[in-house]
Amino acid sequence: MRLMSLPQRYLQCREKTLDLSKPHIMGILNVTPDSFSDGGRYLDQNKAIAHAQEMITAGASIIDIGGESTRPGAAKVSVEQELQRIIPVVQALHGLDVVLSIDTSTPEVIEAAVAQGAHIWNDVRALKRPGALEMAAQLAIPVIMMHMRGEPDNMQQFAQYDELCDEIIFELKERISAAIEMGVQRDHILIDPGFGFAKDTTQNLALLRQLYRLNELGFPLVSALSRKRFIGDVLGGVDAPQRVLASVTAHLISIQQGACIVRAHDVAEMKQAIVLWQAMQATTIT
């Protein structure tokens, strides 16, 4: 395993600052009826808020709120539906000691969420929807740009690579260039290699093994593989809730290769792993 460390860097998230020299946990809060792992569990606003508070207590420094599932076959969601799911949660959590990320590809949704206090735009489509590049430049907030080919409904048709990491890096470079040309600040860009999106099990494992290569791009790296299907495949087909330990392990492998943010369902378990890893890193023999 190749260990990577990045220079200390701070990410300004409006009034909040993240020190990216240490790993951060982004707790997943899906306010949807059909997400692959916890669909429907936090659709109720009170349950969503309570779960977010639990994740903050457990160690999440970022809460990622999503109102539209990106799993294959998920129902289409209107802008109005997405706003009805997300905005009340943002309003309730704004003011807490946490950075709020919005998992959306829709410019109107992120604009409304930022007006209510959100800090980060997490876009699985890397600002490809109409008006997204312009909105990212206008809002001037950090944006996570994820690698994906096609759309969630057809992405696996495009899981064909001659040189996996080379092609992911090249395609992310294209999106980064488009964002910068539109006026998005370089120090607001983060990258996500898109585990599970247009990649089969073998490709996801190869990507995890070579994740350090994405540091070539020079942007903070986000790893989002919590409970993904490829982990279930490796474990013999177990359901999403049974993929916790393997997810934590894979995220720790990501951190060792330079990931500064891990997007996780299981915050308390992930926090324990990071604490142990940090203690090991700090230990010296005299």
Buried b (16+ CB within 10 A) or exposed e, 249-258: ebbbbbbbbb
- Structure-token match 């990501």, residue found: 254
| Alpha helix segments (H runs only) across the chain | 45-58, 79-93, 107-115, 132-139, 164-182, 201-209, 229-234, 244-256, 267-282
CB 45 within 8 A of CB 89: yes
DSSP 7: P
From the list 50, 110, 107, the residue with the least C-alpha distance to 86 is 110
From the list 247, 191, 251, the residue with the least C-alpha distance to 36 is 247
Report in angstroms the alpha-carbon separations of 56 from 62, 254, 266: 8, 22, 12
Give the C-alpha separation, 1 to 115, whole Å.
43
- Structure-token match 């460390």, residue found: 5
What do you get for the CA distance between the two ends of the chain, in Å? Answer: 25
User: Which tokens go with 109?
Assistant: 């949704």
CB 285 within 8 A of CB 278: no
Q: Which residues are catalytic?
A: 228, 263
SS3 of residue 31 by DSSP: coil
